[in-house]
Structure 1
Amino acid sequence: MEFGMTGFVVAGLVVGFIVGMTGVGGGSLMTPILLWFGINPATAVGTDLLYAAITKSGGVLVHKKNDNIDWKITGWLTLGSVPAAALTLLFLKSIDSDMQATNAVIKHALGFVLLLTALAILFKKQLMAFAQKHAGDHYHLSGRSLNALTVLTGVVLGSMVALTSIGAGALGTVALFVLYPFLATKRLIGTEIAHAVPLTLVAGLGHASMGNMDWHLLGYLLVGSLPGIYLGSHLSGRVPDGVLRPCLSVMLFTIGYKLVF
């Protein structure tokens, strides 16, 4: 276990560093790393969810201080995502007696969400350019329909996150950008992180109640990731986006492809 312990601390450090630097990739990197270490899929997802809730809470404090959170949008997203996460957990609980089935469902879902995440990261610029170009068109929504779509986005993210621990970050940010093209990027990221905390906390505690949780592992990951996030945040913007994004995309795409096929 000695190597395992050091390995998990290093994994936390690396993932924390990348998250701090890019704001992307918490779950999408951590969960596959845990699978690679031989942790079973359900435990990897459960542990990663609480890991995300704890690490992102720190992010919320910083964003709140800088007034980068749109609480109204966070509220509408949470209205959809938390109930959806609870229903997804009930579904997992219903097949819980068959551990192999649970792990197979999680593994396949994980692969698909990773492939989507890789595409979202790779084509983020194009998606954002499209959203801004058409921001004034009839496609741009307002009032009730916008709130309804925000809740619906929350439902989709909630199910994905409860199943795979992935999706809130990259996919959530892209979805928000398409819905709210006039929202400043830093507010977009702050709002997304604020939404991720209650979602990952509820989903993580749900998994923990089903026994999909390794508390020692969580401790090691946190020991590594907190300094990692701190270092990464300070280097943010030093490495050009044009280098970081494709690398991250290729890595996630490869992992996703392996899990699905």
Structure 2
Amino acid sequence: MGIEMPIAGFIVGLVVGMTGMGGALIMTPIMIFVFGVSPALAIGTDLIYSSVTKIFGAWQHWRQKTIDFAVVKWLSAGSIPGALLGVLMILLMQNHFDTKQLNSAIGKILGVTYLLIAAVMVWRIFGGKGRTTRPDDVQRPPKGKLVALGAIGGFVVGMTSVGSGTLFMAVLAMIYPVASAKLVGTDILQAVLVTAAAGLAHMSIGNVDLHLVGKLLIGSIPGILIGSRLTTKIPDMAVRTALMLMLFLSGMKLLS
């Protein structure tokens, strides 16, 4: 795991910066299938790595004024408690299963989550785009809806490390169709908060490898800065299609 980890981090950072999604969807399977990290350790390590990486993406979007701070506030009001509840669920599983059973159970949960998110992404692309609006025409979703979305998404993030970008982006795009760059920036900032909360909770129960985090950050920080600058300049359909394919294949492998 010499230069391979920084390269993997750069690729993931680039994708996250461009689309606001894909971090855990790429990195967690890479750690499990390529580098042989256990599912529980991969989840906690990815959350810490992701939270630090996304700080730099959020900073770039803040400079570009592509963040809706009110939406971030209400999403986080639900997502942070939800994420902590998800980590508590993992802790309960660790107390009741041996290592082999735990890794198998978490692998199955990840597999189902990957397939569900792939289905949501397919639906969004082919059936759920809906109307287009100018940013000035869009009214923010009700606070209660944002908190509920945050709580559900946060729980998924806490258990699987997946969803801080993809899940929130998919649902936000349906209920708050603002310009793509603003949607990405808003999502990345709230993802910083939810992944940090979940990651620190995983660290407290021993599910984080800080050595791996450091190697990943060497590549991911320049990757997300470059990707964030490209957000408003290139289409992301090819990236999303590749993510969907990878999600489907990873989900099927984890469930097999």
Shorter-chain TM band: 0.7 to 0.9
Give 1:162's aligned amino acid.
G
Superposed displacement of residue 40, structure 1: 0.5
Say whether residues 1:90 and 2:93 are aligned partners.
no
Please list, as runs of the form range in 1=range in 2, the aligned pairs for 1:43-62 lying within 5 A after superposition: 43-62=41-60
Please list, as runs of the form range in 1=range in 2, the aligned pairs for 1:87-236 lying within 5 A after superposition: 87-97=85-95, 98=97, 99-130=99-130, 132=132, 146-181=142-177, 183-233=178-228
Task: Show the counterpart of 1:136.
Answer: none
Check conservation: 2:85, 2:158, Cα contact below 8 A: no
Check conservation: 1:95, 1:101, Cα contact below 8 A: no
Q: 2:148 is paired with a residue of what secondary structure?
A: helix
Q: Cα gap change, 1:127/1:150 in structure 2, threshold over 3 Å: closer, same or farther?
A: farther
Partner Cα separation in structure 1 for residue 179 and residue 234 of structure 2: 22
Q: What is the aligned-residue RMSD (CA, Å)?
A: 2.4
Q: How many residues align?
A: 249
Q: Cα gap change, 1:239/1:148 in structure 2, threshold over 3 Å: closer, same or farther?
A: closer
Task: Show the counterpart of 1:11.
Answer: 8
Say whether residues 1:244 and 2:239 are aligned partners.
yes
Question: Which runs of 5 or more residues in structure 1 are unaligned?
Answer: 134-139
Q: 1:129 is paired with a residue of what secondary structure?
A: coil
Superposed displacement of residue 104, structure 1: 2.8
Per-residue CA deviations over 1:95-150 (Å, capped at 9, x if unaligned) read 223333432332122112211232333343345522659xxxxxx9987xx22221
Check conservation: 2:58, 2:189, Cα contact below 8 A: yes
Task: Show the counterpart of 2:78.
Answer: 80
Partner Cα separation in structure 2 for residue 60 and residue 127 of structure 1: 29
Give 1:25's aligned amino acid.
G
Give the TM-score normalised by the residue count of structure 2: 0.87
Q: 2:94 is paired with a residue of what secondary structure?
A: coil
Give the TM-score normalised by the residue count of structure 1: 0.85
Say whether residues 1:32 and 2:26 are aligned partners.
no
Check conservation: 2:161, 2:195, Cα contact below 8 A: yes
Give 1:108's aligned amino acid.
K
Partner Cα separation in structure 2 for residue 232 and residue 180 of structure 1: 23
Q: Cα gap change, 1:126/1:147 in structure 2, threshold over 3 Å: closer, same or farther?
A: farther
Per-residue CA deviations over 1:8-67 (Å, capped at 9, x if unaligned) read 222212222333344331110000000011101111000000111001111111112222
Check conservation: 2:57, 2:224, Cα contact below 8 A: no
Superposed displacement of residue 239, structure 1: 6.5
Partner Cα separation in structure 2 for residue 188 and residue 237 of structure 1: 11
Task: Show the counterpart of 2:68.
Answer: 70
Partner Cα separation in structure 1 for residue 184 and residue 18 of structure 2: 13
Check conservation: 1:128, 1:177, Cα contact below 8 A: no
Say whether residues 1:254 and 2:252 are aligned partners.
no
Q: Cα gap change, 1:186/1:13 in structure 2, threshold over 3 Å: closer, same or farther?
A: closer
Check conservation: 1:131, 1:177, Cα contact below 8 A: no
Superposed displacement of residue 256, structure 1: 1.2
Superposed displacement of residue 167, structure 1: 0.8
Partner Cα separation in structure 1 for residue 86 and residue 228 of structure 2: 33
Q: Cα gap change, 1:214/1:254 in structure 2, threshold over 3 Å: closer, same or farther?
A: same
Per-residue CA deviations over 1:212-232 (Å, capped at 9, x if unaligned) read 011111111111222333444
Say whether residues 1:23 and 2:20 are aligned partners.
yes
Partner Cα separation in structure 1 for residue 245 and residue 162 of structure 2: 17
